[in-house]
Every structure is written in structure tokens, then in C-alpha cells.
């Protein structure tokens, strides 16, 4: 079952190492309970070969992609997975509902929903890892459209290639926002050896100013 890691929930809420009050702790537990009933996780992934060109571009499925970040991430990979997952529209409904009566609850649903989507990504990641292990491959860190210099416009290709609306109920607005909001698309590279790609917060230019970044506990 999909879980919301409490530490992650607190991090998304902007707590930096300090302890929440008893009321907040209870609210978080209660929201997680409600979310567990409301979410309907769904995902889809497909495996494609990847071709690297000398000009720093790549071909994946029927796409020709230019992105230094993704290139660095995938260098050395023999295959790449395109993945999409969502915890479903229930979380958005709970947020909308909470906004009527309690913004603090809305914020907690928001944070806990994100933590659950993250957990689902990790599980999908793990499923793919086990598949690739049999082939002697290891996985590279997830890399999503909009991350670094990877164009957000690729969301349209994810929609098309993975048939996301039918396979897992994710749709896209004209402005490339995914609905349900707690949805994630990503490339995951598979290679015989680990690359030198940085991971998580280390790979992000905004790290220093970001209130969500992982840091040493105070």
C-alpha cells in the first residue's frame, strides 16, 4: 500500500527540522488516513532503446530530444523507461473540500499527497529495478520534463506515447499541467553501470534558496 512518509510530509510543509505541535501531528495522521481511502494509484511505463548523437541530442521512442541534463543522466544507458504515475483525483477533491473550511488541512493534504505520489514513484522504480537487475542493469535517477533544461513540452509526448489518459487517467491542460495534480512523469535510464549523474537536490541549481531541500537536521 502507498505510504506517506511523515518526514517527507513535514519537509513539504516547510518544517525545517523542528517538531510540529500535537494538534498538527494529529491533523497529519488524520489527513493521511483520509487520503489512504481516497487515492487510486495507477501507473504505466514502457521501455525504449536510446540513441545518442554527437551533437548532444538523443532519440527515445519517436522523439528527438535536446537536453544537457538528460544527456548526462542517460549517458551509457542501453535503454530508457518512460513512466507516468498518479495517486488519482481523490487527493485533489480532498484539497478542494478542505479549502472551504480549513486551509491548514488543505496544506497538509497537499503535502501528504505529494509524499504519496513520491512513494508510488519509488515503488514503480523498484519494479523496474528488479526487471533490469535480471538483465544485469542498474537504474539511473528519475528525470522529469521541466527539470533542469529538459523541456516541459515533452509532457505532450509522454501523453501520446504512454496513452496516459487511458492507461492511468492523467490528462494535460493546454498549459502542460497534469490532472490529477499528484502525478509524475519521468525518464528512467537503465545501464550496465552507474553513471556520474548527480541525484536529487544536488542536481538542482535552486538548492541554496529552496525551503524544501534536504539538509542536515538541526
Partner 1 sequence: MTAFRELLGREWLFLDGGSGTILQSMGLRGGELPENWNLTKPENVIALHSNYLNAGSDVIYTNTFGANRLKFPGNLEEIVRAAVANAGAARIQTGREDAFIALDLGPTGRLLEPVGDLPFEKAVELYAEIVRIGVREGVDLIVIETMSSGYEAKAAVLAAKENSDLPVMVTVTFNERGKMLTGESPECIAALLEGLRVDALGINCSLGPKQMYPIVREMSELTDLPLIVKPNAGLPKEKHGRTYYDVTADEFAAVMNDMADLGIQVAGGCCGTGPDHIRKTIELLKNRPLVRRNVRKRTVVTSGTKAVEIGAKPVIIGERINPTGKKRFRQALAEHDINYILQEALRQEDAGADILDVNLGMPGIDEPALMEETVRALQGVTSLPLQLDSSDPEALERGMRVYNGIPMINSVNGKAKNMKAVMPLIAKYGGVLVGLCLDENGIPDTAGGRLEIAGRICRQAEEFGIARRDIVIDGLAMTISSDQNSANTALETIRRARDELHVSTILGVSNISFGLPNRQIINSHFLSMAVANGLSCAIINPNNADMMAAFRASLALTGNDDNCMEYIQAYGNVEITSEVRTGSVSKTVPAQPAGLGVCIERGLAEQASKAAKEALKTMAPLDLINSELVPALDKVGKGFEQGTLFLPQLLMSADAAKAAFAAIKETVGDNSGQKKGRVILATVRGDIHDIGKNIVKVMLENYGYEVLDLGKDVPPEVIAETAVRENIRLVGLSALMTTTVVSMEETIRLLRERKPDAKIVVGGAVLTQEYAGRIGADAYAKDAMATVRYADSVFKENS
In angstroms, the CA 158 to CA 82 distance is 7
Alpha helices in 75-163 (DSSP H): 90-101, 103-134, 154-162
Please pick, from the candidates 8, 92, 118, 132, the single residue that binds partner 1 as defined by CB under 8 A: 92
* Lookup result for grid cell 527539470: 147
Note if the bond before 49 is cis, omega within 30 degrees: no
In angstroms, the CA 108 to CA 42 distance is 22
Which residues partner with 123 through β-bridges? none
Please pick, from the candidates 171, 194, 198, 199, the single residue that binds partner 1 as defined by CB under 8 A: 171
Cell representation of residue 207: 538548492
Please tell me the count of residues contacting partner 1 according to CB under 8 A: 55
| 33 binding partner 1? (CB under 8 A) | no
| 118 binding partner 1? (CB under 8 A) | no
Q: Find out whether 162 and 84 touch, Cβ atoms under 8 Å.
A: yes
In angstroms, the CA 19 to CA 208 distance is 22
| 5 binding partner 1? (CB under 8 A) | no
Rounded to a whole number of angstroms, the minimum distance from the CB of residue 193 to partner 1 is 23
Rounded to a whole number of angstroms, the minimum distance from the CB of residue 53 to partner 1 is 20
Give the list of residues 6+ apart from residue 82 with CB closer than 8 angstroms, or none.
Answer: 45, 46, 48, 60, 61, 158, 161, 162, 185, 186, 187
Q: Find out whether 122 and 205 touch, Cβ atoms under 8 Å.
A: no
Please pick, from the candidates 5, 59, 99, 122, the single residue that binds partner 1 as defined by CB under 8 A: 99
Of 92 and 118, CB closest to partner 1: 92
Which residues partner with 171 through β-bridges? 179
Rounded to a whole number of angstroms, the minimum distance from the CB of residue 168 to partner 1 is 8
| 145 binding partner 1? (CB under 8 A) | no
Please pick, from the candidates 96, 194, 198, 199, the single residue that binds partner 1 as defined by CB under 8 A: 96
| 210 binding partner 1? (CB under 8 A) | no
| 61 binding partner 1? (CB under 8 A) | yes
| 41 binding partner 1? (CB under 8 A) | no
| 191 binding partner 1? (CB under 8 A) | no
Q: List residues near partner 1 by CB under 8 A.
A: 13-16, 18, 20-21, 23-24, 27, 40, 42, 46-48, 61-62, 88-90, 92-93, 95-97, 99-108, 110, 146, 152, 157, 159-161, 165-166, 169, 171-177, 179-181
Amino acid at each position: 500500500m502507498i505510504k506517506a512518509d511523515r518526514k517527507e510530509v513535514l519537509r513539504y510543509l516547510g518544517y525545517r527540522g523542528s517538531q510540529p505541535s500535537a494538534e498538527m501531528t494529529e491533523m497529519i495522521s488524520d489527513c493521511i488516513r483520509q487520503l489512504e481511502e481516497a487515492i487510486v494509484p495507477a501507473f504505466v511505463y514502457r521501455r525504449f532503446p536510446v540513441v545518442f548523437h554527437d551533437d548532444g541530442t538523443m532519440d527515445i521512442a519517436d522523439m528527438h530530444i535536446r537536453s544537457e541534463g538528460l544527456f548526462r543522466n542517460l549517458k551509457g544507458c542501453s535503454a530508457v523507461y518512460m513512466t507516468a504515475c498518479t495517486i488519482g483525483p481523490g487527493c485533489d477533491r480532498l484539497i478542494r473540500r478542505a479549502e472551504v473550511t480549513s486551509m491548514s488541512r488543505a496544506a497538509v493534504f497537499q503535502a501528504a499527497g505529494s509524499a504519496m505520489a513520491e512513494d508510488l514513484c519509488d515503488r514503480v522504480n523498484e519494479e523496474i529495478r528488479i526487471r533490469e537487475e535480471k538483465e544485469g542493469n542498474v537504474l539511473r535517477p528519475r528525470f522529469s520534463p521541466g527539470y533542469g533544461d529538459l523541456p516541459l513540452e515533452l509532457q505532450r509526448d509522454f501523453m501520446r506515447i504512454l496513452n496516459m489518459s487511458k492507461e492511468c487517467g492523467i490528462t494535460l491542460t493546454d498549459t502542460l499541467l497534469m490532472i490529477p495534480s499528484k502525478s509524475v512523469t519521468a525518464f528512467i535510464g537503465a545501464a550496465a553501470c552507474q553513471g556520474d549523474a548527480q541525484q536529487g537536490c544536488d542536481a538542482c541549481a535552486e538548492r541554496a534558496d529552496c525551503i524544501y531541500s534536504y539538509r542536515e537536521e538541526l
